[in-house]
Amino acid sequence: MFGKRSGESAPARPTPVQAAVVPVTPTEQKAVPAEPRVVAKPEIVAQERRHSEEYYDVKTTVFNALIDTIDLTQLAKLEAAAAREEIRDIVGEIIQIKNVVMSIAEQEELLEDICNDVLGYGPLEPLLARDDIADIMVNGANTTYIEVSGKVQRTPVRFADNAQLMNICQRIVSQVGRRVDESSPICDARLPDGSRVNVIAPPLAIDGPSLTIRKFKKDRLKLDQLVKFKSITPDAKTILEVIGRVRCNILISGGTGSGKTTLLNCMTGSIDNDERIITCEDSAELQLQQPHVVRLETRPPNLEGEGEITMRDLVRNCLRMRPERIIVGEVRGPEAFDLLQAMNTGHDGSMGTLHANSPREAISRLESMIMMGGFALPPKTIREMITGSIDVIIQASRLRDGSRKVTHITEVVGMEGDVVTLQNLVVFEITGEDANGKIVGRHRSTGIARPRFWERAEYYNETKRLAEALAAAEVHDQRGQPMGDARG
């Protein structure tokens, strides 16, 4: 099946999976037109750098000479810094021997470029070094997009060809013992710094390997920063803190990249230090500050299709580990059932995220996950289970101007007939747009003075803080009447 197209689209070079150093050969660089290309150190990446044809010629010559000279297996044994030093020395010599005429600055760039190709992730390196990038999206060798401050933009970064790109993908995934090629063209991995990586290769990706990196933020955002970014108001922040502290079961709902994981991470900030927390994730992203944390990660099947550990396996196992809080990075399948049961049976204060565009949709997504999981339960029973377990849904959204907001803090109140009733506590309301196309809006409470988790708040002595924050978040209309409507 894969054979058919392999002639035209497959990377020709076989890649040894376990080799620690696979040089990313800058093949056919001559054929690459003098397109803008980033070779520089992170600070100057934003400027588009153009290199002459000669630069690429020289680079290929020097690179080939380097590969002839050094012993890659020996190089692989060195520490990164030492290996870099070694390469610098040799490249310096090659430049001298070959009588290459280059400015010092150009030589530095060449060195950096070659080091990145041999040791690192080639043209990706400058992007990986930047802290302001949220996502890197490579769509084949010639097209790379990044997301900066909520906006997706194209970069001048390009790879020599799809084979070089594939090589880099291979290098990334082989570090976590996986492999990506035509026979297993889809692969998830993680960079050493914790960034999450997905690769989908030809023939599935038609225009060349597609590589997506969700960059790991060294310091995850805190609730305070979300206030500063106007994602929530100070009052809403207080309400969220109380919700976390009093052990509500929380579902964070949102679209891709809307800030669910960030919010989940923030919410874990209100967990006390003496609680035993177990996290289950597809790829460890959360950074809990508490001392008593056990982190679990799922595992995909191996090449023979064996050995898979699913999220459901983790959540179920977790129940035997005496957790006080269970945190599920992303609920997307039958584990929903086990999480709800856990929430229902004494593990209150558990949290998870889920992909949905509104609190209402989050409920129906949960419902369908359980139905699809093969649990033969009538819909009403499933809904009762949901209302019995989930206390609060927090909705995260990425708005059209790129800003990220908490758009709803919503309570799951109960059932009316067959329907789950929701009650908004705080909503974000769009009121307009400013001259720069930025969305203008406000967070306001819906006038609920006593949420359903009031008793919990009493138990934890948080009612005063809660009541004050809810009252302060109210917005009054022109006649001085509070603007209500809490229906979810």
Ligand X SMILES: Nc1ncnc2c1ncn2[C@@H]1O[C@H](COP(=O)(O)OP(=O)(O)O)[C@@H](O)[C@H]1O
Q: Which does 262 bind (CB under 5 to 8 A by kind): ligand X, Mg ion, none?
A: ligand X
Q: Answer yes or no whether residue 37 interacts with ligand X by CB under 6 A.
A: no
Candidate ranges 9-17, 119-127, 179-187, 224-232; the one touching ligand X (CB under 6 A): 224-232
Nearer to ligand X, 221 or 467 (CB): 221
Nearer to Mg ion, 165 or 286 (CB): 286
Other beta carbons within 10 Å of 141: 20
Select the residue interacting with ligand X from 49, 130, 179, 217 (CB under 6 A): 217
Select the residue interacting with ligand X from 254, 323, 441, 488 (CB under 6 A): 254
Nearer to ligand X, 161 or 282 (CB): 282
Candidate ranges 40-48, 50-58, 76-84, 259-267; the one touching ligand X (CB under 6 A): 259-267
Q: Are the beta carbons of 448 and 423 closer than 8 angstroms? A: yes
Q: Which does 404 bind (CB under 5 to 8 A by kind): Mg ion, ligand X, none?
A: ligand X
Candidate ranges 7-15, 179-187, 257-265, 290-298; the one touching ligand X (CB under 6 A): 257-265
Q: Are the beta carbons of 167 and 15 closer than 8 angstroms? A: yes
- From CA 56, how far away is CA 414, in angstroms rounded? 66
Q: Which does 347 bind (CB under 5 to 8 A by kind): ligand X, Mg ion, none?
A: none
Nearer to ligand X, 237 or 312 (CB): 237
- From CA 365, how far away is CA 386, in angstroms rounded? 11
CB of 403 to ligand X, least distance (A): 7
Select the residue interacting with ligand X from 25, 29, 258, 283 (CB under 6 A): 258
Nearer to ligand X, 160 or 396 (CB): 396
Q: Using CB atoms, what's the residue nearest to ligand X?
A: 259
Q: Answer yes or no whether residue 226 interacts with ligand X by CB under 6 A.
A: yes
Candidate ranges 47-55, 187-195, 251-259, 302-310; the one touching ligand X (CB under 6 A): 251-259
CB of 195 to ligand X, least distance (A): 10
Q: Answer yes or no whether residue 402 interacts with ligand X by CB under 6 A.
A: no
Nearer to ligand X, 260 or 347 (CB): 260
Q: Work out whether strand 392-398 and strand 351-355 pair parallel, antiparallel, or are unpaired.
A: unpaired
**What residues numbered 245-304 form the site for Mg ion, per CB under 5 A?**
261
Q: Which does 408 bind (CB under 5 to 8 A by kind): Mg ion, ligand X, none?
A: none
CB of 361 to ligand X, least distance (A): 15
Q: Answer yes or no whether residue 260 interacts with ligand X by CB under 6 A.
A: yes
Q: Answer yes or no whether residue 404 interacts with ligand X by CB under 6 A.
A: yes
**What residues numbered 159-188 form the site for ligand X, per CB under 6 A?**
none
State both tokens at 314.
């983790």
CB of 261 to Mg ion, least distance (A): 3
Three-class SS of the chain = CCHHHHHHHCCCCCCCCCCCCCCCCCCCHHHCCCCECCCCCHHHCCCCCECCHHHHHHHHHHHHHHHHHCCHHHHHHCCHHHHHHHHHHHHHHHHHHCCCCCCHHHHHHHHHHHHHHHHCCHHHHHHHHCCCEEEEEEECCCCEEEEECCEEEEECCCCCCHHHHHHHHHHHHHCCCCCCCCCCCEEEEECCCCCEEEEECCCCCCCCCEEEEECCCCCCCCHHHHHHCCCCCHHHHHHHHHHHHCCCCEEEEECCCCCHHHHHHHHHHHCCCCCCEEEEECCCCCCCCCCCEEEEECECCCCCCCCCECHHHHHHHHHHHCCCEEEECCCCCCHHHHHHHHHHCCCCCCEEEEECCCHHHHHHHHHHHHHHCCCCCCHHHHHHHHHHHCCEEEEEEECCCCCEEEEEEEEEEEEECCEEEEEEEEEEEEEEECCCCCEEEEEEECCCCCCCCHHHHHHCCCHHHHHHHHHHCECECCCCCECCCCEC
Q: Which does 116 bind (CB under 5 to 8 A by kind): ligand X, Mg ion, none?
A: none
Select the residue interacting with ligand X from 25, 144, 253, 262 (CB under 6 A): 262
CB of 336 to ligand X, least distance (A): 17
**What residues numbered 115-144 form the site for ligand X, per CB under 6 A?**
134
CB of 359 to Mg ion, least distance (A): 18
Site size toward Mg ion, by CB under 5 A: 1
- From CA 4, how far away is CA 205, in angstroms rounded? 15
CB of 471 to ligand X, least distance (A): 25
- Site residues for ligand X per CB under 6 A: 134, 214, 217, 221, 226, 229, 231, 254, 256-262, 404
- Site residues for Mg ion per CB under 5 A: 261
